[in-house]
Amino acid sequence: MKTIITLSKVFTITAAFCLLRFDSAHAVSMTYYDIGFSEPIHTVGSPPSEGSNPDTISNIVFGEPLVESSFGVLTNESLVFNTAGNTPSFFYDQIKLDLANNSDRYRLSFDLSTNNFVNTGSTNTFTLLFDTPEVRSISFNNNGTIRYFHPSEGSGIIGNFSDNTLLKMIVDVNLATSTWNIFMNNDLLHSGIFFPSTDDINSLRFSFGGINSSTFDSIGLDNLQITNGEDLATVPEPLTILGAGTAVAFGAGFKRKLAKAKKK
């Protein structure tokens, strides 16, 4: 009799644990930005739309980046950076995305391609600037190298690229663990310490430019997305359902046996 009661309690506890896992599988996924630079939100031949919506940039900081119908391997509408016509003292095209969402994690993804940029005499650099507000950065250099920079951890070359190729980039910043992981085309380029100077990322900037303007090199950007990195499905895991169902069934079965035993 005591054994039956103990097993019943065990299965009841197991069921409760599985139901807790069921609840945890409903973690909320947040999308802060999802920008495809497509119409009608954005207009080909014009600067990108600015605003506070997830499908617009926050603002243009410098220059005049333009939405184009395509850009080489980027076959859909893309945002194109170049320094043609930019005047001193800022030979830059630069956009900003406001963050400061009090998130423990930011997952940035985007598609990138370059044209007439690598080893062509360009003096420009394409840089992602993470404003914490002290800057951490990832730069795509005119010699075809990718370099990270951290004010206290230093910098280093983490990859290479060439013109007219599709670079599918992912940067996963985990503020809870103060780390970041940088991927290109599903390959891990860098994993290291992030340590923001505050407890959040205030904004993210995409910047292309250098010491002078040029007319031959350009950068294309598309499919820009920033989320909280939460990829759990809104449905429970199959094993969780099976575990919960099995535990509840066993618990009910043992309770029935216990009731019969008491009647005898």
Tell me the pLDDT tens digit for each residue of 203-243: 999 999 986 666 789 999 999 999 999 864 444 444 444 44
pLDDT band at residue 84 under the 50/70/90 scheme = confident
Q: Note down the domain range covering 16.
A: 2-24+243-263
Q: Is residue 147 part of a domain?
A: yes
| pTM given for the model | 0.78
Q: Is residue 98 part of a domain?
A: yes
The CATH number covering residue 214 comes to: 2.60.120.200
Q: Where are the beta strands (DSSP E) in the chain?
A: 31-35, 59-62, 66-68, 78-81, 91-98, 105-115, 125-131, 135-141, 145-150, 154-160, 167-174, 179-184, 187-193, 203-210, 218-227
Q: Is residue 235 part of a domain?
A: no
Q: Is residue 238 part of a domain?
A: no
Residues 20 and 81 in one domain: no
Residues 155 and 222 in one domain: yes
Who wins on pLDDT, 90 or 136?
Answer: 136
Residues 153 and 206 in one domain: yes
Residues 20 and 37 in one domain: no
Q: Is residue 130 part of a domain?
A: yes
250 has pLDDT over 60: no
Residues 14 and 78 in one domain: no
Q: Is residue 237 part of a domain?
A: no
Q: Is residue 236 part of a domain?
A: no
Residues 197 and 255 in one domain: no
Domain count, the chain: 2
Q: Return the residue matching tokens 């850009």.
A: 71
Residues 120 and 13 in one domain: no
> Considering the chain, what is the average pLDDT of its residues?
83
Angle at the Cα of 93 from the Cα atoms of 142 and 189, rounded to 5 degrees: 45
Around 207, how many Cα atoms within 13 Å sit in the side-chain half-sphere?
20
CA pair distance 64, 213, nearest whole angstrom: 13
Residues 96 and 71 in one domain: yes
Q: Which of 42, 78, 92 is nearest to 220 (CA)?
A: 78
Residues 94 and 78 in one domain: yes
pLDDT per position as a tens digit, 19-38: 444 444 456 899 999 999 99
Residues 91 and 182 in one domain: yes
Q: Is residue 232 part of a domain?
A: no
Residues 87 and 19 in one domain: no
Residues 16 and 38 in one domain: no
